[in-house]
Structures are given as structure tokens and as C-alpha cells.
Amino acid sequence: MTDPLTLRNYSPAPNSHHDRVVVVTGAGDGIGQAVALALARQGATVALLGRTLRKLERSYDQIVKAGGPKPALLPFDLETAGAAEYQALDEALDREFGRLDGLAHVAGILGALSPIEHYDVPTWCKVLHVNLTAPFLLTRTLLPLLRRSTDATVVFTSSGVGRRGRAYWGAYSVSKFGGEGLMQVLAHELEGTRIRANSLNPGPVRTAMRMQAFPGEDRSRLVEPAAVTPPYLFLLGPESSGINGMTFDCQQLAPPAQAG
């Protein structure tokens, strides 16, 4: 199942994620919401983590209306959360579930598209914190709960500019390079355990972040967030057991243009 084409066209059996407990960050909208809804349709209990409670409640309502397992609401600001908030989150998940079977890092911010020479320093620090340091902190905090699972998985969300740098993408590009490195280090450390770590590049998707980066783009040419959920479902489910330290594309992407 590591063939990219097969992964992109993955179609799970009904109830394939039954009894799995998965935390999804950025679950209030965009790709995070789509992943959360897809997991719930497959029987997973989803812990919806995000900054805006109103958005999380919309995801919650959609899951319940569709007959999915009752999700958990986790209002949590990755930009401002400190040690006390991370400890409280860990304790709440421990009380509610006693273990975790999956952690999907989907939340992220774009920051500014700007030359390095003129990049705003506070914006740089904010993007690196939300996109890289916060996933590290969340993973570090929740690893003991993941270790209680018989089959656990961590999925990082990557980007094409996190594999090959591109002018003006600044802190976002660097944060995604860092995320790939974090995944690889974690995967190496987890070899021989019941936890695995991998990453996915969604590619161009019709989201608010994409519109922010490409305001003049023809959005009708972009896929909806739901279209990129099959690889997430695969890597967050039991069928990906044994796949560790790998990175995949959710869409068939053209090779990057050569500079010069």
C-alpha cells in the first residue's frame, strides 16, 4: 500500500477505524475538518482540536448529525498555549479516553510571503512556533498516551515548499522543512515500537490558506479538502501498520519548475 497511486485512491472498508481515538488539529475547517469528518464516518472517535470553539462546534454537529461517534471538543491555541495548557490537555484526554491511537497534525498558518531581507521578525517567530514548535510540544506531550495503544500513528502535514525551498515563502517553507525533519527523527526513534510517524503533502486544495497565498487563482481548478482525505485515513488507520518514516503526496503533482 506504499504505492502513491494506490494510497491516493485508498478506499477503506466500512467502519475501518472503529474504536480508534484520534486527535486532529485544525479540525474546525479546511483539511483538518475534512480529515476529522472522514475519520468519524469510518467509526473513529475524534478529538477536535482548534483555536476557535465556534468552528469546532460546527465540526462536532456535522459528525453527530451523520451518526458518528460522539467527538471531543478541545479548544486550544497553538500560538499561545504554555506548559499548563499542554498538561491540562493531556489530563483531559487521559481522563476521557485513557489512550490515543492517532495524532494528525493539520493546523498551520501561512504568515507572510516576503523576501527574507524584509521578512517581519515577529511573524517569522509566530509561524515557526505554530507550524513546528507546537507540533513538537503536542507530540511530546501526547506520546505517553500513544504508547498505551496497540497500534498508534502520528501524521504530519507537509508541503511542496517544505521539500524544495521557493522564493518568498519564508517562514512557512522553513517550518515545513522542519516538520519533515521532526517526523524523520521521531520515526527513527520509534522504530521497533507500536507507534509510527509519517507525513503527507496535501498539494493545492481549496482552503482559506491557499486563497491567502494565491488570491488571484482560479479556485474552480482546485480540489475540495475532502478529496485529499484518503491518504490521511490510510496512515491514521490499522492498514498502515509497519509504514514508518515516509512522506507521501495526496495528489499527483507536477515536478517543480527549475530556477533560472
* Residue showing cell 517567530: 125
The answer to whether residues 237 and 16 touch, using CB atoms and an 8 Å cutoff, is: yes
Phi, psi of 30 (to 5 degrees): 60, -145
Supply the residues annotated as catalytic: 172
SS3 percent helix, strand, coil of the chain, rounded to 5, is 45, 15, 40
For 95, residues 6+ apart whose C-beta sits below 8 A from its C-beta are none
The answer to whether residues 71 and 63 touch, using CB atoms and an 8 Å cutoff, is: yes
Phi, psi of 118 (to 5 degrees): -115, 10
